[in-house]
């Protein structure tokens, strides 16, 4: 099976870098702790978000399964406190071997790639990687596919149920329903934030 993120790595890298971290994630930035800690960026792509967090003082582990895209991200963040590794949901096997917990886990534009049958496992793994008081931020893509990548339907209620099963609290965001920053009228985004007790 071909991997568009590797085959068109430079295309996706440039596309992601056109947008700022602040613009993409403005709905939940008020929840970002003032005191930086340890962050996990799952599906880090170009490294845009990892770089922005590192610039704020966070120590970031960036996870990206697409080799070519990961290499571009590594090159773009080599001057920052960002460590990269190859791994992917639902298991995050490599990350789990590190025996580390994170104060922030960002899963941006990733959840729609996870088949519904694997989401319970993925959410359990993410919860287990959270420090007490840690935040889990997930962005949900709504809209049709692009003919290249495999997308699955996403549903906020599904995540709320998963969070409840793991005793995570749902936190408010400024505007959880957002238009697509790339101007695609058929695509919309929704952000959910959960906190581990």
For 128-154, write each residue's pLDDT tens digit: 999 999 999 999 989 776 667 788 999
Q: Are 61 and 83 in contact (CB under 8 A)?
A: yes
Mean pLDDT, the chain cut into blocks of 10 residues (197 residues total): 72 82 93 96 96 97 95 95 97 97 97 96 98 97 77 94 97 73 72 96
CATH number at residue 122: 3.40.50.150
Is 7 inside a domain boundary? no
Is 113 inside a domain boundary? yes
How much is the pLDDT for 6? Answer: 76
Is 27 inside a domain boundary? no
Q: What's the pTM?
A: 0.92
Question: Residue 36, SS3?
Answer: coil
Q: Indicate the burial class of 189 (C-beta count within 10 angstroms; 0-12, 13-18, 19 or more).
A: buried
Q: Are 112 and 141 in contact (CB under 8 A)?
A: yes
Q: What's the structural domain count of the chain? A: 1
How much is the pLDDT for 80? Answer: 94
Domain that holds residue 78: 36-195
């Amino acid at each position: 099976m071909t991997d568009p993120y590797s085959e068109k790595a430079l295309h996706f890298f440039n596309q992601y870098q056109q947008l700022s971290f602040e613009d993409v994630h403005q709905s939940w930035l008020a929840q970002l702790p003032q005191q930086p800690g340890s962050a996990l960026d799952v599906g880090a792509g170009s490294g845009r978000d990892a770089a922005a967090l590192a610039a704020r003082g966070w120590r970031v582990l960036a996870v990206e399964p697409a080799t070519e895209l990961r290499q571009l991200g590594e090159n773009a963040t080599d001057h920052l406190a960002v460590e990269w590794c190859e791994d992917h949901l639902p298991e995050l096997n490599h990350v789990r071997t590190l025996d580390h917990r994170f104060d922030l886990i960002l899963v941006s534009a990733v959840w729609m790639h996870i088949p519904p049958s694997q989401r319970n496992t993925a959410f359990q793994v993410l919860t287990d990687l959270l420090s007490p008081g840690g935040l889990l931020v997930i962005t949900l893509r709504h809209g049709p596919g692009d003919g290249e990548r495999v997308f699955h339907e996403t549903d906020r209620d599904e995540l709320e149920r998963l969070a409840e099963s793991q005793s995570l609290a749902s936190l408010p965001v400024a505007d959880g329903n957002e238009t697509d920053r790339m101007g695609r009228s058929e695509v919309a985004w929704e952000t959910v934030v959960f906190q581990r007790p």
